[in-house]
Amino acid sequence: MSGAALSRPQLRVARLDLWIDPVFDETIARDGTLDLRVLPAGGDAVTAAGLAGAHAYHVSAAKDEVPARWQVSADLLPQCPQLLCVSSGGAGYDTVDVAACTRAGVAVVNQAGANAASVAEMTFALLLSLVKRLGESEAALRAGTAVSREALMGHEIEGRVIGIVGIGEIGRRVARIATGFGLKVIAYDPLLTDAQIAERGAAPVSFDALLEQADIVSLHCPLNAVTRGMVDAAALRRMKRGALFVSTARGGIHDEDALLAALESGHIAGAGLDVWQVEPPPPRSGLLQRPDVAAAFHTGGVTHEGRRKVAQGSATQILDMLAGRKPARLLNPEVWPRFLARLAEHGVKV
């Protein structure tokens, strides 16, 4: 260990005892100046005390995994007076109130892009499962009822139009793969200019135009106050009759009841869903009973490679922040000067 490392104050990093790729702990341990605390997700006093003394907190991005009392909320933050930074373990940050963190002087990062390849691949796994009717074909084979191949006839996607809602790290990969399949790509993203969308391989359109033109609508946007419920009954009615709907984004962006009704009426021909309002969804969910729904348990980004990249990115950004280096995925850049001042109060020279 270098003399510089020895002179730095020891800061504490906390995480819950939920599964994470071992590279996170290994990366934190290699630094030599940080004290890692693994706290029980089902704990009470021990976990509260551990978070109260933590300077950095790695938290899963999945709300259904993290008990509400340990999510980074306006209620939790006053109980964590030492907390300097929070790292969300995914591209999403549903478990973190970023605005409350900003008010408290706490820097927040996510891992956008770390599992982008995994999620983009899942988009096409769901889409191809739908158009090739893989679930129905497998069920017929296993049940011994497969007699006529024509009864399980599917479709091609070549030549169709795919509309990408949100063309960030994941969406741009979806656009690239779509081009390889011979799809025409259009996209809507209010955070990007038309030129930026075009640079990412898509023709820019409005949200309404996307719904009206796309044969396949694929969601790749975050869940927030703007996008919650964005794909409602009215939006589904604007889609082409016979269009397909795919989401690997977040449950809550689309209205599940409205989607079920659109499938039942035949207006929407099929849906590929990796995300749900409640995860896992109830086994008797109407959507899960339909052969025109390809379903997954929010596993798009849950690959060995994706999870390792997320864990490595989270640990690296925590190391950067606690050393006074601006991280790559800072969600609230306006907090940075105050963060540095708070870090200096803990004896870190920046």
User: Which helix (H) or strand (E) covers residue 196, if one does?
Assistant: helix 194-199
What's the CA gap between 62 and 65, in Å, rounded?
5
Q: Give ∠ CA 283-288-289 in degrees, rounded to 5.
A: 100
**Active-site pick, 65, 136, 212, 279:** 279
Number of H helices, E strands in the chain: 13, 12
**Active-site pick, 8, 15, 133, 250:** 250
The answer to whether 56 and 79 have CB atoms below 8 angstroms apart is no
- Please confirm, yes or no, whether 279 is among the known catalytic residues: yes
**Active-site pick, 15, 133, 254, 298:** 298
DSSP 3-state percent helix, strand, coil across the chain (nearest 5):
40, 15, 45
The answer to whether 88 and 110 have CB atoms below 8 angstroms apart is yes
Sheet holding 184-188, edge to edge: 203-204, 184-188, 161-165, 216-219, 243-247, 268-273, 293-295
Q: For residue 244, give the nearest of 221, 286, 211 by alpha carbon.
A: 211
Q: For residue 167, give the nearest of 128, 112, 127 by alpha carbon.
A: 112
Beta-sheet strands, E only, within 248-285: 268-273
- Please confirm, yes or no, whether 133 is among the known catalytic residues: no
Q: For residue 268, give the nearest of 294, 232, 292 by alpha carbon.
A: 292
CA 8, 315, 109, 58 dihedral sign is: negative
In SS3 terms, 35-83 reads as EEEEECCCCCHHHHHHHHCCCEEEECCCCCCCCHHHCECCCCHHHCCCC
DSSP 80: -
DSSP 287: G
- List active site positions: 250, 279, 298
